[in-house]
Structure 1
Amino acid sequence: MTALLVFIVIIVLIGGGIWGWPLLAGLLGIASVTDKAGALNHITQLMNRYDITPDDIDTAFHQQTSARSDADNRSKGDIARTLFAYLGGIFILAGISTYISMFWDSMGSVMRVLMTLGVGYILLIVLVAALHERRYPRLILPLTITSVCMLTSGWFVLIHELYPRGDNWRAATLCVFAVMALHQGALFFKYRRTALLFTSLFFSYGFLEVGLDMLGVPIAYISIALGASVFLVGTALEKTPYKLLAEPALLIGTCWLNSGLFDRIDLFTSTNWASLITGVCIVFTAYGMHKSARYPRLVALGYFLGSIMAYSGLFDLVQNTSIELLYLAVAASGLYACVVLQSRALLLTTVIAMLGFMVYFSEKYFANSLGWPVTLVLLGLAFLGIGALAIKVKQRI
């Protein structure tokens, strides 16, 4: 019966496509427009009705053709110019990199500095010229990245050549990051570009992390402090023209902060508690973004990673204890949270957690008993029930 119904629907759709539209056109009075003569007749009727002359048609036709041609020429010109610019930059960098790798050992100290730091400053001059002229906006990002890479490596090369026997990498990194932060910060305050703000923040936070590490501050406290700072910076960027950086800043800040939190909790308690508490914190962070209707990708990622950490930490805590079934109760309450929060990511981890615990529990307590076949049947029914419940939950989401 279902197959017959599907066949009838297909026939109706095909028939409507073949005969329905011509019939509808005939009812609307445009069935005669089926060939060139009919089209000309219909155009004549429109011209008479709206008092359109052949000169009007000719003018409108040429204007439309000219506008389309200019747009095509501009788009093709922009694409070609951008393509050749990228290809030129790639070949220049490939040539410089190949030359440096081939003759690095035979170069002197001055030549090494010139081939790295000198090239970096040449690229920086080109970047400043492009920023000042404002004629090549698509070249700003690749020029920023290449100049930053060459300048950073060049400053490290200069320090190594000046102090070949030095082994204090923290001091070298601190100096290089300080110089690069000043570079990029000055360029940002002058030209106000998002790429320059990103590089300024990158080197500034790198300088802070290395500096605090040299002062003897534990790395976990550095992560907590700087992660919270990056999170606040990301929140502040939402209301600025540089809100493109807000989402990655919030992601980096959350990960950085919770990594330090995980380390401290692990030190004072255990890895299980650290995983559980950190996972719950990540879920709460995602919940805050969810309530404010911001960044759905970060919300889904937070629910996914946070729930995985929370479920794994909770399972390790209750395993082989008298409260093992508490895990199943928590996972079951997670299904209710999925409906309230309308999160497919949380639904996925919750269903996996429930099914995994059922498999573990049945193998542990019923695998060697005569009731194992019955357990398998009950487990299958449980799987079907959870699967049906998950489908209903997904439909409501």
Structure 2
Amino acid sequence: MNGTDNNRTDQILSELSALIESGQINKKQILDLFKDEQPTEAEQSKVNLQTLFYVLGAFIVIVGIVVLIYQFWADMDQITKVLLTLGSAISAYSIGYYLHNQEKTKELGLAFLTISLVTYPIGIGTTLDLVGVSAMEMGGLTIISAILFIIYFASYFAFKTWLFLPFVVAAGSSVFITFTNLLFENALTPKHFNEYRGLVLGITYIALGYYFSLVRKPSMVSIMYFLGFILFLGASIILTGFKPNINIIWQFAYPFLLVLTFYISVLAKSKEILIVGTIFTFAEILKLTSEYFSRTLGWPIALIIAGLVIMGVGYFSFEVNKRLIKHQSQP
């Protein structure tokens, strides 16, 4: 920018400043100049209606494929089954890929991709049966889960769309569950095996929720936090045990885990975490009441005490949401 341009810019800014001081224009009018054109309400309604039709159509197609398979499955040979299931998945994926790369048909492309993502598991399982690997045994289920994870994960990076993320998480979770089942298929399962797997999945989901918050995927953040804390606190409360088989370590640690959950809900500004923490606090209160107070005080008194405590926890949770989470979420 040369000297003449600088002088011209200074002159325009000076005139603009004078107009603002005189009240002839305001800040909003200036900021509106920098905003991209927003679609009208009619255009937004049209887009939403189109998306609704695409989702509804995809759902009907999936139902149609399932019904077709159910009606004629017994009469098909194995090759026909593979062509119908895996062929449908690959065809829908190819159509979705093409449409998604066209600016005007991106949403329609997502509908076809959804069809493919749902039909891939059936197609891969049928193909495994064709080559002699039982899709219903743990080894076959592990292979299916691993292949699906690779497809979904690669598709997410290829398309850069949120649609694949829930499928990636579901497939990854399935790999973990089926593979750990396979490891102990012919061996003695460790004590509290499922509970500790729930803890691992819960912590993983929470970590994914934090990652998605960093990369600005708010929908996935809510889902991961919600499911993660359900698994984590659910497995933890089971590990505390039930009288007379109480695990002292987990029984002592669980209240601190609940406090930590409320603390994280404030840090993460997450209503989902707060709701889950509140529900499991209610569950712990009822559990402790039934185990320690129902026989000494009697059920009616114990229930009254539990109800009052739950009301207090509910009030506390509401205040945390109103004063901390909502307040911190405001710009």
**TM-score tier (shorter):** 0.5 to 0.7
- Aligned counterpart, 2:263: 288
TM-score in terms of structure 2 length = 0.68
What residue is the counterpart of 1:107 in the other structure? 76
In structure 1, stretches of 5+ residues that fail to align are 1-69, 346-397
Aligned ranges for residues 64-79 of structure 1 at < 5 Å? 74=43, 78=47
Residues 285 and 306, structure 2, Cα contact 8 Å, conserved in 1: no
Match of 2:239 in 1: 264
Task: Name the counterpart of 1:175.
Answer: 143
Instruction: Answer yes or no: is the 8 Å Cα contact 1:278–1:309 preserved in 2.
Output: no
CA distance in 2, matches of 1:128, 1:116: 18
Number of residues of Structure 1 aligned to a counterpart in Structure 2: 275
Is contact 1:272–1:314 with CA below 8 Å preserved after alignment? no
1:232–1:117 Cα change, 3 Å: same
* 2:163 paired residue number: 195
User: What is the RMSD computed on CA atoms of the aligned residues?
Assistant: 3.9
The aligned counterpart of 1:386 is none
Which one has the largest radius of gyration? 1
1:151 counterpart residue number: 120
User: Does residue 127 of the first structure (1) align with residue 104 of the second (2)?
Assistant: no
1:219 to 176, 182, 194: 194
The DSSP-based 3-state class of the residue aligned with 1:197 is helix
Asked if 1:231 corresponds to 2:206, the answer is: yes
Q: Distance in 1 between matches of 2:63 and 2:312?
A: 56
On the 8 A contact 2:262/2:273 being kept in 1, the answer is: no
Specify the code of the residue in structure 1 equivalent to 2:115.
Answer: T
Residue 38 of structure 1 is matched in structure 2 by none
**How far apart in 1 are the matches of 2:49 and 2:307?**
56
Q: 1:247·1:295 contact (CA, 8 Å) conserved in 2?
A: yes
Change (3 A) 1:213 1:96: closer
Matched position secondary structure for 1:104: helix
Query: Displacement of 1:76 after TM fit?
Result: 7.2
Is 1:188–1:197's contact at 8 Å kept on the other side of the alignment? yes
Check conservation: 1:275, 1:312, Cα contact below 8 A: no
Unpaired runs of 5+ residues, structure 2, are 1-38, 185-189, 322-331
Give the alignment partner of residue 304 of structure 1, picking from 279, 284, 292: 279
CA contact (8 A) 1:275 1:309 kept: no
Larger RCO (CA within 8 A; separation ≥ 6): 2
C-alpha spacing 1:160/1:187, structure 2 compared with 1 (3 Å): same
Alpha-carbon offset, residue 140 of structure 1: 5.0
Equivalences for 1:293-372 in 2 at 5 Å? 294-321=269-296, 340-343=316-319
* CA-CA distance at 1:241 after TM superposition: 2.7
Cα distance, 1:193–1:84 mapped onto 2, change above 3 Å: closer
The 8 Å contact of residues 113 and 158 in structure 1, kept in 2 or not, is answered as yes
